Structure 1
């Protein structure tokens, strides 16, 4: 093959990028292409900023290899076909994805490639194990329970990692286009995007991986990798990460959860809007005031408010805090999970359809949890995973003067102390305060 186009989507890296590696191995000239789709640019200022940082970093890396990143704006199918035809490309390669939007894009691109006699080839790379490769017995499309999926996933033959290309030759005369200007994000302390930053954090994380089992639920210690935004945009290969951490079972299990929800979303593309268990989705309360207080981190329950404020400050939230805040909205306030999905999508750098929506449905009892009626008591969770109140005081400065575990229940403080706090009491709209105070 003389010329190939690689359409980047959520694989913004050169290390272990199967689509890019195949193009460089089989074509004399390669056009790395990214199309800025206006339909996706409105979703999240945080993710848009992270994306633009990742694109700038990818262009710098590709230029160091002798190539470049070609930037276009518009419909990705139309732009990919136009670029391919302009350089006489025989083929287009891209990473397969599972969201409804991605699959519609793939179907349209396949039809257009057939019409213009251009080969289209899809590659793995967004997950450790391809979402469609593991099927349960009995003809099911996907595993609905995590544990059996994990056993099969752990025993599966993972694909081989592919090396970064040593050289890329871009066809002469291609207008590479300008990088988009860097927009303002909403979170002042958000992480920086790009493969360079991802690999730096990856190397650091591997040196601190051993105590993960003991620290991953320790909220003040913040002992998680914080690599999820880089996985979401493909700045880091999930396979490379899984191989590097393969002997650390607790961490590999978390990577498997990510793959699990990808295969769920492949079988159930309405995961963001429709319950997987409709019978558990019929008794939500309409309370716009309580919903707004939850969004603003002003529920009066410190551990919940700390999580919601971390979300806005950093575009990220500790996993334990995600469980606590989501459970508080759905199981204690009784509010529909879908507004929670959308609020997290607005802020999270790592927000994607499979994992954000899948986890929300799990917590709400409408998804893949084998115990759909479980509850997370926020006070007990706080006392267990933030026993000295360090995490709460980090994000709720109104409570910095409260010592120890008392910070988790400020309504129990003496009246004169409570009056001195610029912090609300628990929401009056709780259906039953005893529900979330009991063990």
Structure 2
């Protein structure tokens, strides 16, 4: 049995179904759970959620006799410093796919090799590991979702793991201080909140998810995405609870974009499929879009929800993204960076993969697809309730007119005309 193992937490902040932690607890006498607050990892608007999630993780580990050690600095440097301090013979980490994560894993592997310390990566961020499925016709990943979905649905799953009963920590270690949580938001962070949200949603809303998930005002989406992004909830456990085909398909999309990002790490800056797009540089239009001042109510409602909550309804994400790139002609990278900076669930594969899909530079097999915001508004917010909730200037506008306020005599005071013609 190995004497001491470090488990480096990154975006897998839970104790249930955590292969790296379970393996360490089963195979080592002592386990050192570690999280490093690395200045290279910008928290953007996610700092409070992260702080709450770390506090919850520390609580869970302490309940099992362990603790969460928190360090500040370069992740690799701090991990290796702690490894020397405790005489660790191995470092465990959940495998991830972004450029930053891949670079960190390579550096850790190199430093561990120099120190004659084992470095092991484990699944857990996705349901099916990103490199597990390859097209039969060749290639290192699936470029189109539908064939990936068929193979993914039939692929075997690893065993779902219980939380470890005991975590034995070496004596005399300074646990370190957690970051201050700051003002709370609409999503409390942490595994406890994640599991409570999952259980409530499965009990009351999962059955009607397929019919109601696109209802903007009803907001019947699971709202589990921030917990999946931070690993407060295991995607495999969520799938195992049989949440319905529509949500399982969304989990598959998440896995799909992870395997795309693993194969194409430049997804945040380079066109996955270059098509010769010529984007407009229009900072004024981009600013109006960011602020929810485009004059198109359904777009402005979505953007203001994002500013207020750090979250946006999935249907609204598609509408607002399509408006920026298709109607305003602004580079998809402008929108993707704004979303990534504000969304609690903003992770590299999903955020940038979806933006490239909307822009026609990514995995969409119909690259010229255009979403009409007015049709979307009439279909998914027929009474204008969603718009009124987030655009107070329009609260007194009648139902049929709320999506076309520019057609009212004199318009609406305090609300701008649309940036582009929408008739």
Cα distance in 2 for partners of 1:99, 1:251 equals 24
Cα distance in 2 for partners of 1:355, 1:219 equals 21
**Equivalent in the alignment of 2:3:** 2
**Equivalent in the alignment of 2:145:** 146
Cα distance in 1 for partners of 2:144, 2:274 equals 17
Residue 353 (structure 1) aligned to one of 348, 359, 371: 348
Shift of 1:206: 0.8
Shift of 1:97: 0.3
Other structure's SS at 1:139 match: coil
Shift of 1:189: 4.1
**Equivalent in the alignment of 2:110:** 111
**Equivalent in the alignment of 1:24:** 25
1:350-404, Cα deviation, whole Å (9 max, x unpaired): 0010000000000011100011101001001100010110100010011001121
1:136-163, Cα deviation, whole Å (9 max, x unpaired): 1222111111111000000000111111
Per the alignment, do residues 134 and 213 of structure 1 end up closer, same or farther by CA in structure 2, a change over 3 Å counting? Answer: same
1:165-215, Cα deviation, whole Å (9 max, x unpaired): 01111001111111122245xxx7441211111111011011120000001
Residue 333 (structure 1) aligned to one of 328, 335, 338: 328
Aligned structure 1 segments of 4 or more residues deviating by more than 3 angstroms: none
Shift of 1:89: 1.2
**Equivalent in the alignment of 1:216:** 213
- How many residue pairs are counted as aligned between the two chains? 421
Shift of 1:286: 1.3
Shift of 1:277: 1.5
- State yes or no: 1:422 paired with 2:414: yes
Structure 1 segment 118-197 matched on structure 2, within 5 A: 118-184=117-183, 189-197=185-193
Other structure's SS at 2:268 match: coil
**Equivalent in the alignment of 2:50:** 51
Contact 2:65 2:167 in 1 (8 A): yes
Cα distance in 2 for partners of 1:180, 1:383 equals 44
Contact 1:190 1:313 in 2 (8 A): no
Residue 264 (structure 2) aligned to one of 262, 268, 291: 268
Contact 1:275 1:366 in 2 (8 A): yes
Contact 1:361 1:368 in 2 (8 A): yes
**Equivalent in the alignment of 2:233:** 236
**Equivalent in the alignment of 1:369:** 364
Shift of 1:52: 1.0
TM-score (norm 2): 0.98
Cα distance in 1 for partners of 2:256, 2:212 equals 23
Contact 1:287 1:335 in 2 (8 A): yes
Cα distance in 1 for partners of 2:316, 2:128 equals 28
**Equivalent in the alignment of 2:84:** 85
Cα distance in 1 for partners of 2:86, 2:281 equals 55
Cα distance in 1 for partners of 2:185, 2:101 equals 30
Contact 1:34 1:70 in 2 (8 A): yes
Residue 196 (structure 2) aligned to one of 200, 222, 225: 200
Q: Which runs of 5+ in 2 are unaligned?
A: none
Contact 1:189 1:313 in 2 (8 A): no
1:69-98, Cα deviation, whole Å (9 max, x unpaired): 001111111111111111111111110000
Structure 1 segment 314-325 matched on structure 2, within 5 A: 314-325=309-320
Cα distance in 2 for partners of 1:288, 1:93 equals 44
Cα distance in 2 for partners of 1:89, 1:215 equals 50
- State yes or no: 1:293 paired with 2:293: no
- State yes or no: 1:35 paired with 2:30: no
State the Cα RMSD in Å: 1.1
Contact 2:48 2:180 in 1 (8 A): no
**Equivalent in the alignment of 1:14:** 15
Cα distance in 1 for partners of 2:179, 2:366 equals 46
Q: Which runs of 5+ in 1 are unaligned?
A: none
Contact 2:191 2:233 in 1 (8 A): yes
**Equivalent in the alignment of 2:247:** 251
Other structure's SS at 1:212 match: helix
Contact 2:14 2:191 in 1 (8 A): yes
